Amino acid sequence: MSPLTAAARRLTIRLGRWAARYLPSEVVGAAAAVATATAFAAAGHAAVAAAVAATVAEVIGFYGVMALRLWRRQRRQRDADGRPDRAGRAAARVARQLLAEFGLAEVADSVLIRPAAMLAGPLLTGATAGGTLLGKLLADLVFYTVVILSYERLRRAGGEGSPVAGVAGPPPEVPHAQ
């Protein structure tokens, strides 16, 4: 296998892993952001209010799905290992994982980048839904640059004590055990 082919294969595996990890949360977050911005605009609220509300809705949708998926995967793993788990401990572990992976990126994203992008999108395009989605995608470029670097660093650290231990799932070519 040539070095170029090997690099392309590694990238394909990583893209599949990232999509499996983030895409379900992204779909819910994007739908929440666009629906909220559209509802705020239809109600006559200022563009700034719509952008901030869309950001909050996206954060709730994204992290709600991400937390639920992490919690469920942990429960399956701990049940399979015969280790009972208390809800409070599981919730604390999920919170630590989310903070380790997203903390730095989320602060900059939610406070500055995403609201500004979701404000600029509709103002530049003249369309609330399309502009909000455009702004969201632009903010995602910055967000995921930081998040993926953080995730890969944590994943490589690995082990049971790793904040993302066991939550990345197998590579795409390995079937999931449900």
Q: Is the pLDDT of residue 173 over 70?
A: no
Tell me the Ramachandran region of residue 85: left when phi exceeds 0, alpha when psi lies from -120 to 50, beta otherwise.
beta
pLDDT at 79: 80
Distance CA 101, CA 171 (A): 19
Helices (H) and strands (E) in the chain, counts: 5, 0
What distance, in Å, lies between the first and last C-alpha atoms of the chain? 33
- The string of pLDDT tens digits covering residues 162-172 is 555 554 444 34
Give residue for tokens 């290992």: 81
C-alpha 167: how far from its chain's center? 13
Pair 17, 139: CB distance under 8 Å: no
Give the CA radius of gyration of the chain. Answer: 18
CA atoms of 50 and 35, how far apart (whole Å): 10
pLDDT number for residue 145:
95
Average pLDDT of span 133-146:
96
Predicted local distance difference test score (pLDDT) of residue 109: 94
90/66: higher pLDDT: 66
Please give the pLDDT value at position 18: 94
Q: What is the DSSP string of 35-92?
A: HHHHHHHHTT--HHHHHHHHHHHHHHHHHHHHHHHHHHHHHHHHHHTT----HHHHHH
The pLDDT of 121-150, averaged and rounded, is: 95
- Above 80 in pLDDT, residue 93? yes
Average pLDDT for the chain: 88
Residue 107 and residue 35 in contact, taking contact as beta carbons nearer than 8 Å = no
> What's the confidence (pLDDT) of residue 178?
42
